[in-house]
Amino acid sequence: MKQILFFICCAVLMTACKKDENNDTPTVAQRTVMVYMSGDNNLSGIVSEDIREMQQGITGIPQNNNLVVFIDRAISNEKPFIARVTKEAKLDTLYKYPYDFYASDPELFGEVLQQITTLCPAKEYGLVLWGHATGWVVESDTIAQRRAYGVDNGQWMNITQMARALEGLKDQSVLPKLSFIFADCCNMMCVENGYELRNVTDYLIGAPSEIPGYGAPYQLVVPYLFKNGSDLYKGIIDTYYDYYADYSHLTSSEKARWDYMEGGYSVPLSVIDTKFIGDLADWTHDMLERATDGYPKYPESPDLTSVAFYWYYDVPMMYDMRAVMERLLPETEFKAWNAIYNKAVPYYRMSMKWMTMWDKYGGGYLDRSFDTFDANLKYGCVSMFIPKQDSYYSYGNTAYNKTSINFGWNRVMDWKRFGWE
């Protein structure tokens, strides 16, 4: 069992990002992008490769900006550390932690980000979440809620806990509202996450589906992490999507690694503009009442046959939100709702095929059958929880109908009005 005696201010900081000539005060940058690499798991071996990609990409960022990584990986003699990414072969190590600890602990997650703001202060900050994730899916046991982001030796951080940690830093004026969170991990683009993080970031960018283990092509993506507005999120999404979609441009080693991509695969990607997520929640709540023939009452669920879902974990889940609402609503109501959706989700790139560990029957590596998805529906690359009467939704450690209520979005939806407890 890992333990930590965590000191934020108990030692002299080893190196500042950039010091003024006449004193040791770090220069205040325009933007510091913090990459939280939770790699003490089966992604550990990819950390170094992604760092090399970042070192290539750093040449494209403006002066007076910082790209800083927190690294925790499964190397027995290495403790977590914070470093600045430079063009040089070696990272510019800024701080080494004296003890190992769970990178998935939300309190320590907050302390790491606070340490980065001390080492590399800036006017604005962006956050890249690097690692494993499972969207809104959590599992209850007698010890703690688990699953969501950043598994570290079996321990996960829930998105509700992450949001509270970031809100705490904002309330203490340690960290302003983030310019963006780019989630380079699976299943993060669910509307529940967007609503939960609405007070701590301007944009949430990522994939509603699983993603390839090697994730974003950072040598191409890094410059866009220092853009603003649509240049930021369109640049990240287009670069990421096109990299995997254009199979012909992959290197021979990449083609061997991702041979399945030749079949028209890419990564569905989207952005949530959190300014409008509250409006989307209110409109969705009201529009559910206007479903054709009424929204079904417990124990019935809407007929979602052929609607694309982004994860299969013994049962389909994480259905595409936009397609669900199109299926449920009369045309006029859907058109009105969709206008709000387009404000909250101003950009996305949909792929009808993506890397997955599960087929529709479960367990088939990279073998999901996508031909059952209705290509005529209006997909929007953000998923939404829909309660169901199913063992995984109702019983045991999963009990999704109960654990999902921890998300503010589902409290706004008020599923109890349809008989779901």
Provide the residue-wise pLDDT of the chain in tens; the chain has 421 residues: 444 433 333 333 334 475 544 456 889 999 999 999 998 888 999 999 999 999 999 998 999 999 999 999 998 889 999 999 998 878 999 999 999 999 999 999 999 999 999 999 999 999 999 999 999 887 665 344 567 888 887 788 889 999 999 999 999 999 999 999 999 999 999 999 999 999 999 999 999 999 988 899 999 999 999 999 999 999 999 999 999 998 777 788 878 877 777 778 899 999 999 999 999 999 999 999 999 999 999 999 999 999 999 988 778 889 999 999 999 999 999 999 999 999 999 999 999 888 887 654 444 434 455 778 999 999 999 999 999 998 888 887 778 898 888 899 999 999 999 999 8
Residue 319 tokens read as 């259905």
pLDDT of residue 145: 55
Q: How many CB atoms are located within 10 Å of the residue 402 CB?
A: 16
Residue 160 tokens read as 């509700």
Asked if residues 404 and 192 have their Cβ atoms less than 8 Å apart, the reply is yes
With a CB cutoff of 8 Å and minimum separation 6, the contacts of 246 are none
Q: How many CB atoms are located within 10 Å of the residue 242 CB?
A: 14
Tell me the C-alpha distance between 129 and 27, whole Å.
25
Residue 383 tokens read as 């998923």
Asked if residues 47 and 73 have their Cβ atoms less than 8 Å apart, the reply is yes
pLDDT of residue 19: 54
Residue whose structure tokens are 């240049």: 231
φ/ψ of residue 17, rounded to 5: -60, -45
The letter for the amino acid at 98 is P
Tell me the C-alpha distance between 129 and 148, whole Å.
12
pLDDT of residue 141: 52
Q: Which residues pair with 182 in a beta bridge?
A: 128, 205
Verify cis geometry, omega within 30 degrees of 0, for the bond prior to 208: no
φ/ψ of residue 145, rounded to 5: -70, 135
The letter for the amino acid at 77 is N
Tell me the C-alpha distance between 44 and 132, whole Å.
11
With a CB cutoff of 8 Å and minimum separation 6, the contacts of 223 are 57, 60, 61, 235
Asked if residues 31 and 179 have their Cβ atoms less than 8 Å apart, the reply is yes
Q: How far is CA 107 from CA 10, 97, 143, 162, 238, in A?
A: 17, 15, 17, 9, 34
Q: How many residues does the chain have?
A: 421
Tell me the C-alpha distance between 271 and 188, whole Å.
11
φ/ψ of residue 126, rounded to 5: -120, 155
For residue 388, the 8-state DSSP code is -
pLDDT of residue 146: 63
What are the strands of the beta sheet with 383-384, ordered from one edge? 309-312, 316-320, 383-384
The letter for the amino acid at 219 is Q
Q: Which residues pair with 44 in a beta bridge?
A: none
Within a 13 Å sphere around the CA of 353, how many CA atoms are in the beta-carbon half? 14
pLDDT of residue 212: 87
Q: What angle do CA 153, 178, 21 make, to 5 degrees?
A: 100
